[in-house]
Amino acid sequence: MDFYWEDYLSVYMFAALAFGLFSGFPVAFVVGGIGLAFGFIGAAVDYFSLIEFYNILPRIWGGAAANPVLVAVPCFIFMGTMLERSGVANDLLDILEILLRRVPGGLALSVTVMGTIMAATTGIIGASVVMMTLMALPTMLRQRYQKELATGTLAASATLGILIPPSIMLVIMADLLAISVGNLFLGAILPGLLLSGLYFAYILAVSALKPHWAPSLSDDVGPDTHAGMALMLLKGFVPPVFLITLVLGSIFAGWATPTEAAGVGGFGSLVLAVVNRKLTWSVVKDVCERTALTSGMIFFIFMGATAFSYVFRSLGGEDIIVEFIEHLGFEAWGLLFVLMGTIFILGFFFDWIEITLIVLPVFTPIVELMDFGSHVEGRDVIYWFAILVAVNLQTSFLTPPFGFALFYLKGVAPNSVKIQNIYRGIIPFVALQVMGLVAVIIWPQITLWLPSIVLD
């Protein structure tokens, strides 16, 4: 077989991409710039026609702009940011602490529950880690929590946001994989609860065995009377739970599409801010601007990735990957591990935004070919795969030495918290993540059961 270097342009393209990304220049420009550059290189050796560039903008347009599904993204970002800025998130943590003050490890447990409930809200790893750390870490350190336990709990609970619906990562994944957002949300609920349940059990066990790692709050914290307690419960607990129920409920009840539910959630967060008397001009302005910044960031990568994957495909990149995979001769299971391993390693360096937008389109044709016999059948494979990717990515974000949820945590934490504390603290949680991942692989019903009963 003759070797023509031009045949492998798409391979060089990925190599150039890796090089460009590691330079630290913004991902959006690297992806788009390299995509177009290889279009020109391809055109110079007659492997690409410049006229094809005319196809790119309509694709960007149809994929990112004129796409009703993705309207959910800015709305969910708005909702999350508003819940944070209006103090709703903070009130929730307060009440959880008081409720759990007599339980060993109460504060850490509060963080887990809070992560599970508020997971809904931002879905951008960096932002949620920063938000949770700011809210809980000072209190935990003041309580003389062991630094390892405190930071491990924080990082794990904050990253749950990409998995537990309504997560914007799931919205974008569903859009790219051409599956239903509502069903994917349903499929993610039990795996998400499973993980937070595992954290909960671990923290409970550790704090019972080593009480000095997680000193309890004194009993005199919080209101003395039952009425005061009830009022606090009402104030802290009801609003966020109501909002999340409203958003998910309206999707599952069929009142609203996921996009519309996101808008309803955004509206709900405004109402809660009014109730909390935090809705000032400066808060609204700040929330709007942060929402715009995050949307701009995500969709600029979306635009670049569209250009990149168009050129990549046109240069025959997809064929090379499929050929390579066939050449490996793996069966479905072997393939699944190869894909999962790749995503796990990518998760060390990249946020889910880059991974889903650049890598998922490349993997999709392979996933559609996989046959797991009676273990998972037909369309279910894609839903199951999407959830596996989500849990896998979350694990990857937590795994030292690169896990970048850990970098964000370190970035916000006081200097007395060393990166070694964070690394040591996260290890048990990574083990729990792996348990959760293995469980979802062995028992796909964890993902598929809820959608199947709701749809019947």
Partner 1 sequence: MRSLLQVANQLERFPQMFGKVGAWLILPLIFIIMFDVVTRKFTVVQQAIMNSPLYVILSPTKLQEMEWHLHAALFLLALGYAYTVNAHVRVDLMREKMSDRGQAWVELMGIVFLMIPYILVVLYYGWTFFYQAWESNEASDAMTGLSHRWVIKSFVLIGLFLALLAGISTLLRQVVFLFGPEELRPEVKMNMLTSAEAEHLPKIADDDEGNDIAKLEGHYDDSEIVRGG
289 binds partner 1 (CB under 8 A): yes
Q: Given candidates 250, 276, 342, 364, which one binds partner 1 under the rule CB under 8 A?
A: 250
372 binds partner 1 (CB under 8 A): no
29 binds partner 1 (CB under 8 A): yes
Give the whole-angstrom CA distance, residue 408 versus residue 129: 7
91 binds partner 1 (CB under 8 A): no
Say how many C-beta atoms besides its own lie within 10 A of residue 375's C-beta: 15
CB 376 within 8 A of CB 384: yes
Give the whole-angstrom CA distance, residue 96 versus residue 136: 12
253 binds partner 1 (CB under 8 A): no
Q: Given candidates 113, 298, 343, 446, which one binds partner 1 under the rule CB under 8 A?
A: 298
Q: Could you tell me which stretch among 26-34, 172-180, 311-319, 359-367 binds partner 1 (CB under 8 A)?
A: 26-34
Give the whole-angstrom CA distance, residue 94 versus residue 91: 5
Q: Given candidates 38, 299, 397, 423, which one binds partner 1 under the rule CB under 8 A?
A: 299
58 binds partner 1 (CB under 8 A): yes
266 binds partner 1 (CB under 8 A): yes
CB 115 within 8 A of CB 158: yes
Give the shortest CB-380-to-partner 1 separation in angstroms: 30
Q: Give me the helix-helix angle, 226-252 and 181-209, nearest 10°.
A: 150
Identify residues 173-232 at the interface with partner 1 (CB under 8 A).
Answer: none
Total number of residues shown for the chain:
456
Give the shortest CB-384-to-partner 1 separation in angstroms: 28
68 binds partner 1 (CB under 8 A): yes
Give the whole-angstrom CA distance, residue 156 versus residue 133: 11
Query: Tokens 């537990």 correspond to what residue?
Result: 164
411 binds partner 1 (CB under 8 A): yes
Q: Given candidates 4, 45, 49, 61, which one binds partner 1 under the rule CB under 8 A?
A: 61
SS3 per-residue string spanning 294-357: HHHHHHHHHHHHHHHHHHHHHCCHHHHHHHHHHHHCCCHHHHHHHHHHHHHHHHHHCCHHHHHH
Give the shortest CB-416-to-partner 1 separation in angstroms: 5
136 binds partner 1 (CB under 8 A): yes
Give the whole-angstrom CA distance, residue 297 versus residue 1: 44
Q: Given candidates 2, 415, 453, 456, which one binds partner 1 under the rule CB under 8 A?
A: 415
Q: Given candidates 7, 43, 67, 452, which one binds partner 1 under the rule CB under 8 A?
A: 67
Give the whole-angstrom CA distance, residue 137 versus residue 414: 9
Give the total of residues touching partner 1 (CB under 8 A): 101
Identify residues 418-447 at the interface with partner 1 (CB under 8 A).
Answer: none
**Of 84 and 148, which CB lies nearer to partner 1 in the complex structure?**
84
Q: Could you tell me which stretch among 199-207, 313-321, 334-342, 346-354 binds partner 1 (CB under 8 A)?
A: 346-354
Give the shortest CB-226-to-partner 1 separation in angstroms: 23
57 binds partner 1 (CB under 8 A): yes
Residue 404: partners with Cβ closer than 8 Å, 6 or more residues away? 125, 126, 348, 349, 351, 397
